[in-house]
Amino acid sequence: MKNIRNFCVIAHIDHGKSTLSDRLLEFTQTISERKMQNQALDDMDLERERGITIKSHAIQMYFNHENGEKYTLNMIDTPGHVDFSYEVSRSIAACEGALLLVDASQGVQAQTISNLYLAIEHDLEIIPVLNKVDMESAMVEEMSDQIIDLIGCDKEDIILASGKTGIGILDILNAVVDRVPAPTGSLDLPLQAVIFDSMFNSYRGIIAYFRIINGTMRKGDKVLFMNTESEYTADEVGILQMDQVPQKELHAGNVGYIVTGVKVSKEIKVGDTITTVENPAPEAIQGFEDVKPMVFAGIFPIDNDDFEDLRDSLEKLQLNDASLVFEPETSVALGFGFRCGFLGMLHLEIIQERLSREFDQDVITTIPNVSYLAYTTRGKELKVNTPTDLPDPTQMDRVEEPWIVAQVITKPEYIGAIMTLAMEKRGNLTNQHYLTPERVELSFDLPLAEIVFDFYDRLKSISRGYASFDYSPKEYRAADLVRLDIKLNGEPVDALSALVHRTKAQSFGRRICKRLKELLPRQQFQIAIQAAIGGKVVARETISALRKDVTAKCYGGDISRKRKLLEKQKKGKKKMRQVGNVEVPQKAFLQVLKLD
């Protein structure tokens, strides 16, 4: 155990985590240069393209230290996005040390800070690394000061590195061995292993990645997953190199994988503790949470015939993404589809994109909402994941909405604009902390519902890109929530209903009405577009009736040209969705949310 080191890398997107990881793999000859695919650790195309690690991975390297000893280094990768904070926390819990990777030109970002706080909370040894020091724009002095301010280290503790040129790679490996403590734990205690990730393999089922805290895990053992209370057989256990390498047994302090034949991702939960049935541990490792989806939206196939294909695709996605949930939903306007739950907006976007890219499924996504809690006058608690779930106002005592703690790191000149945005989003500033004279960290309490709509984009534009954002869920608080319905000639369009805060209902309604006015084709009659709360109309637009639609000339050759044109229109019309007497093209559902 004394020759094992477990560490993770904390970094902001684009700060060079993947490239640096590749260098470490190369240097330790875990992977040969020839086999090296750039950024070997991100194995989903989408990740590589977006430059973000969506699912974390782990890899084992062997390093010969100058002290003559051989060390086993387990590097645990962490997902780099706000929606995945729980997964990050579990990866951190599996380590004793963390590399704090900071881009020498860009400095510390919000996401890095919140993950850093998590690591400090878990008593991890922090090794600061200033990356991309070879770039002309690198500001080594300034960024070093930032890091010193942030974690209170000495200047000489900071390693200068470049994933691109290989500067500092050996220093990092030495530091991991010298500074990160060896795992503590007992081989004699009953098995306790914490799951920090899992993935789906179409032949082997779900493969769980774990870190053993105490005891030994053996192939063939009957194992118990303590939080889900399910028992399996350890069909295979092993270590993670570039490929999975089966082992007879794994001991306390090490990182590995287990295959149990489980086919459904939901059965294996990140944060759960594995022990043996024969000699179970007295308690599970703390910190387990059953991650609940926070953002919900309806997903409908563009063509109703594709409903079954969509179900297939979602099921496949769920195999390696247990945080995606869905159940069938019916809409008068859109037909059959699914109500889907996501960790956050980025998660929603990723799913939408994967559906399109990997399964060729283009879908209509309805207005997203967060998960609310409603309490009826009879004292019953109801989960509200879709506008139709909201009880009638007469039977409702109160509604609560999720709030988050948000961190924004920016330049001082943008504080005013960001505070205005946060206030408009019903947030309040809880802390303002200067990391350096040029870099300030703002903390807000914000309703999650408010970041679902156009928060990221606006934050980006008011700060000209100089603001980074991170959040974690905080608590449920009372909310003055209303259901806003959109009506076309008096007929509600269920797919366009939204749950919004009362103070936002009117402006939101106005925007939807205005957008629909641009998107709906004129018809023989006037179309009234209304946004209403219950019976009260809060916004309205009118599309005037089509006044004139007639060809002037219709002689010999015109006839077949005109017939073909009208037949084409007729075909398009057949695809439209009917709401009362109004025809709504699918385009309208797809674009109504692109509000700006």
> By C-beta, is 229 or 552 nearer to other proteins?
552
The region of 121-129, 210-218, 237-245, 561-569 touching other proteins under the rule CB under 8 A is 561-569
Helix ranges, 94-200 (H): 110-121, 140-151, 169-179
The region of 295-303, 339-347, 506-514, 569-577 touching other proteins under the rule CB under 8 A is 569-577
Q: Count CB neighbours of 386 within 10 A.
A: 19
Which of the residues 524 through 553 are near other proteins (CB under 8 A)?
524-525, 546-553
Give the whole-angstrom CA distance, residue 211 versus residue 191.
Answer: 11
Report if residue 554 touches other proteins, rule: CB under 8 A.
Answer: yes
> By C-beta, is 566 or 595 nearer to other proteins?
566
The contacts of residue 256 (CB under 8 Å, 6+ apart) are: 209, 210, 212, 217, 237, 238, 239, 240, 247, 250
Q: Which of 305, 365, 371, 298 lies closest to 338, judged by CA? A: 298
Give the whole-angstrom CA distance, residue 98 versus residue 307.
Answer: 45
> By C-beta, is 570 or 594 nearer to other proteins?
570
Report if residue 380 touches other proteins, rule: CB under 8 A.
Answer: no
For the bound state, the minimum distance from the C-beta of residue 335 to other proteins, rounded and expressed in Å, comes to 22
Q: Is the dihedral of CA 32, 34, 35, 39 positive or negative?
A: positive
> By C-beta, is 434 or 525 nearer to other proteins?
525
For the bound state, the minimum distance from the C-beta of residue 486 to other proteins, rounded and expressed in Å, comes to 24
Question: Would you give the end-to-end CA distance of the chain in angstroms?
Answer: 57
Residue count, binding to other proteins (CB under 8 A): 23
Give the whole-angstrom CA distance, residue 447 versus residue 476.
Answer: 9
The region of 194-202, 341-349, 401-409, 568-576 touching other proteins under the rule CB under 8 A is 568-576
The region of 152-160, 301-309, 526-534, 564-572 touching other proteins under the rule CB under 8 A is 564-572
For the bound state, the minimum distance from the C-beta of residue 291 to other proteins, rounded and expressed in Å, comes to 51
By rule CB under 8 A, what string of x and - marks binding of each residue 497-526 to other proteins?
---------------------------xx-
Report if residue 575 touches other proteins, rule: CB under 8 A.
Answer: no
Q: Tell me the Ramachandran region of residue 155: left when phi exceeds 0, alpha when psi lies from -120 to 50, beta otherwise.
A: alpha
For the bound state, the minimum distance from the C-beta of residue 591 to other proteins, rounded and expressed in Å, comes to 23
For the bound state, the minimum distance from the C-beta of residue 554 to other proteins, rounded and expressed in Å, comes to 6
> By C-beta, is 282 or 556 nearer to other proteins?
556
For the bound state, the minimum distance from the C-beta of residue 333 to other proteins, rounded and expressed in Å, comes to 21
Q: Which of 369, 354, 372, 272 lies closest to 316, judged by CA? A: 354
Which of the residues 415 through 444 are near other proteins (CB under 8 A)?
none
> By C-beta, is 478 or 559 nearer to other proteins?
559
The region of 56-64, 192-200, 505-513, 566-574 touching other proteins under the rule CB under 8 A is 566-574
Q: Count CB neighbours of 304 within 10 A.
A: 13
> By C-beta, is 248 or 570 nearer to other proteins?
570
Amino acid in the structure at residue 233: T
DSSP 157: G
Q: Give me the numbers of helices (H) and strands (E) for the chain, helices first please.
A: 14, 34
Q: Tell me the Ramachandran region of residue 516: left when phi exceeds 0, alpha when psi lies from -120 to 50, beta otherwise.
A: alpha
Residue 481: in which H helix or E strand, if any? strand 481-488
Q: Count CB neighbours of 68 within 10 A.
A: 6
> By C-beta, is 66 or 549 nearer to other proteins?
549
**DSSP 3-state assignment of 29?**
coil
For the bound state, the minimum distance from the C-beta of residue 567 to other proteins, rounded and expressed in Å, comes to 6
Out of 394, 557, 594, 596, the only residue in the binding site for other proteins (CB under 8 A) is 557
> By C-beta, is 423 or 554 nearer to other proteins?
554
Residue pair 92/98 in contact by the 8 Å Cβ criterion: yes
For the bound state, the minimum distance from the C-beta of residue 545 to other proteins, rounded and expressed in Å, comes to 9
> By C-beta, is 290 or 518 nearer to other proteins?
518
For the bound state, the minimum distance from the C-beta of residue 581 to other proteins, rounded and expressed in Å, comes to 9
Out of 569, 575, 578, 595, the only residue in the binding site for other proteins (CB under 8 A) is 569
The contacts of residue 30 (CB under 8 Å, 6+ apart) are: 24, 59, 60, 61, 62, 241, 242
For the bound state, the minimum distance from the C-beta of residue 572 to other proteins, rounded and expressed in Å, comes to 10
Give the whole-angstrom CA distance, residue 443 versus residue 469.
Answer: 10
Residue pair 539/531 in contact by the 8 Å Cβ criterion: yes
> By C-beta, is 264 or 559 nearer to other proteins?
559
Out of 563, 575, 578, 595, the only residue in the binding site for other proteins (CB under 8 A) is 563
Report if residue 137 touches other proteins, rule: CB under 8 A.
Answer: no
Q: What is the CA radius of gyration of the chain?
A: 27
Report if residue 567 touches other proteins, rule: CB under 8 A.
Answer: yes
Interface residues with other proteins (CB under 8 A) are: 524-525, 546-557, 559-560, 562-563, 566-567, 569-570, 573
